[in-house]
Amino acid sequence: MAPASRHRPAAAGHVLLTGASGTLGRVLAPGLSAAGHRLLLSDLLPFPDPLPGGARFAAADITDKAALAAACPDDVSDIVHFGGINTETDPEAILKVNIGGTLNVFELARKRRARVIFASSNHAIGFYPRRQQPLTIADPCRPDGHYGVSKVYAEALGRLYHDKHGIESVHLRIGSCLPQPLDTRHLATWLSYPDLVRLVLAALAAPEVGYGVVWGISANTRRWWTGDDAHRIGFVPQDNTEDFADQVEPEAGDAVTRRFQGGSHCGIGYSRQG
């Protein structure tokens, strides 16, 4: 990945935002529009807010190749892929939506020669214990559930599509993206809404990204993760959970939840003995 010594123009082409009607999509849509990007918003459900200036909405299921292609104009330059299932659930559903749907997105990106900005997750590494040296993106993945596995798959798919097809992608390992941190775990994992917008804008603006992985967290003093490609895309988070440290609640959950970095996802269906 090359250093971001200059910026791509915001109007280089349309930006397709999948999952636009979800919580984070509704944060990103006005933020990307305000930065000058021409947006095509897509989701299964209608966009619930007033459309940002110049944006269009097209309903599409990411598991439907034809519908996804119909929603994506030929001049799309970037696909910001935030669509899919966003938590641990039935493995068959995750297989269909997160794995099959993401494959459809990368195939569309290959045909359109578009860059992919992918909403990966901290759950790709969730089974690392909390008491150890900070993780870097060079550390092996340790997913904490089928949802986490789907994020590992997408990161590997991005690597393949760059090496084999030259498709650029940036994978954002999002921690806990909330208006403000709520419990003690979030002191390490929080990503503020403004920093989310800054992160995606940086990934869109960098002139070359090749293949990259960036921790999707704010500038938290108590962060568990470091050593990523943030500097290469010019992402500089501005917020810090220390501003909320005296307001958060103790983390709930069992011993497994509190032992591993993935939190509650690690405890779902946990049956290991010893």
- The catalytic site residues sit at 147
Query: Is the distance from CB of 11 to CB of 32 less than 8 angstroms?
Result: no
Query: Is the distance from CB of 218 to CB of 190 less than 8 angstroms?
Result: yes
Query: Is the distance from CB of 196 to CB of 245 less than 8 angstroms?
Result: no
Contacts of 200 (CB under 8 A, 6+ apart): 28, 31, 32, 80, 117, 172
Please calculate the CA angle 37-42-46 and round it to the nearest 5 degrees: 120
d(C-alpha 216, C-alpha 2), whole Å? 20
Encoded tokens for 124? 């790709």
What is the pairing mode between strands 169-174 and 176-177? Answer: unpaired
d(C-alpha 16, C-alpha 108), whole Å? 11
Q: Calculate the alpha carbon distances from 233 to 41, 161, 188 in Å.
A: 24, 19, 22
- DSSP designation for 122: G
